[in-house]
Structures are given as structure tokens and as C-alpha cells.
Amino acid sequence: MKNVIRTTAFSVALIMVLLSSAVAGQHWEQLEVLLRVGDRSWKYNNAQLRPMATEVFASPRGVKKNPAIRLDLFVTKDTKLPMDQIIGIVVIGAQKVLFLEGANLAHLKHLGLKFGDNHLTLVPLTEEAETALRPVWGKPRIEDVERVDVFHAYEK
């Protein structure tokens, strides 16, 4: 009888552990950004992204400062693409997509991926870039950046 109770208790405990770990796994969200150039892609997690941050983005009031990754460095670091080969960049946020091309690409070095609690937001690092890109950018920022696609001249 003791054995039966022990086996049953063990079974129930095992099921509970497996179910809870499965549920926890579904809700576990980690900061990940995909960089894609043609058929190739690079996936970065939080630990890989943090060391790339070379800039500091101050909030408009200046009370909060967040590390930020320069967008031009982000798209060229591992892809080894020369800047003059890049003809378009699509930044895909959870709710918004931004397409940069032509003269707007000159402002890439003045754009940054700012770290939030567990997300990245695309922000202009200078007033000049903000003013220049306002027509294509619109008001809301590109939040929760999940993917950056790069189009290059060779691909075209």
C-alpha cells in the first residue's frame, strides 16, 4: 500500500514539475534581436548586445541615461558590410516598422538602439537626426526592436 501511495505521489509531483516548467518556458521572454542580410542572419541576446553599447542616451529631461548601440555599428560589425554598400535598412519593432533609404542612411551613425528594461528602442542620438528623419519616422518611437533587415547593393 505504501508503495502505491509513493508511486502515485511521485507521478503527480513529476507531472506538476513538468507542467510548471513548460508554462514557465512559454512565458520566459529574453531580449533577442535578429539582424538579417539576404539569406544570412545573426541573432543577438542580451549578453551579446550589452557590450556593443558605446553611446549613452539621455532622456529629454536628462534625468535618465541609458546605454545605446549605434545603429551603423550594429549593422556592420558582424556583417562586414561597407556602409556605401547599404541601400536600405528596415527596423522592425513590435508595433511599427521603419524603412531608411537614400539620404536618410547618412544619419545611421546618429541613430541608436537604446536599452530599456528588457527591450531595445530605436532613438535619434542627435537633434539633427531627429529633425531630418521626422518625416519618415513619425511620432512614436520604434519600440521593442526585434529585427533589423539590411538591403545591400550587391543583393539588388
Partner 1 sequence: MGNVRIKNLAMLVVVLTWSFSSPAVWAQQVKPVLTVRYGKVARTYTHDQLLALATGTLPNMKGTRKKPAIPFETILFKDTGITRDKVERVFLIGKKSTILRGNDLAYLNRLVLATGPDKDGKPHMWALAPTDEETYKVVRAHMGSRRKGGIYRIDIHLKGNVE
CA distance 65 to 15: 46
Shortest Cβ distance from residue 144 to partner 1 (Å)?
13
In the set 128, 138, 153, 154, which binds partner 1 (CB under 8 A)?
138
Report if residue 141 touches partner 1, rule: CB under 8 A.
no
Provide the minimum distance between the beta carbon of 105 and partner 1 in the complex, in angstroms, as a whole number: 15
Is the CB of 61 or the CB of 156 nearer to partner 1? Answer: 156
When binding is defined by CB under 8 A, the residue of 77, 109, 119, 147 that contacts partner 1 is 147
In angstroms, the CA 139 to CA 134 distance is 7
Could you give the CA distance from residue 138 to residue 153 in angstroms, rounded to a whole number?
A: 27
Site string for partner 1, 39-78 (x = CB under 8 A): x---------------------------------------
Of 90, 119, 130, 141, which one interacts with partner 1 (CB under 8 A)?
Answer: 90
Contacts of 31 (CB under 8 A, 6+ apart): 45, 46, 49, 118, 119, 120
Those residues with Cβ within 8 angstroms of residue 121's Cβ, 6 or more apart along the chain or in another chain: 93, 113, 114, 141, 142, 143, 144, 145
Contacting residue, 25, 62, 102, 135, with partner 1 by CB under 8 A: 135
C-alpha 111 chain-centroid distance = 13
Establish if 137 lies at the interface with partner 1 (CB under 8 A). yes
52/133 with CB nearer partner 1:
133
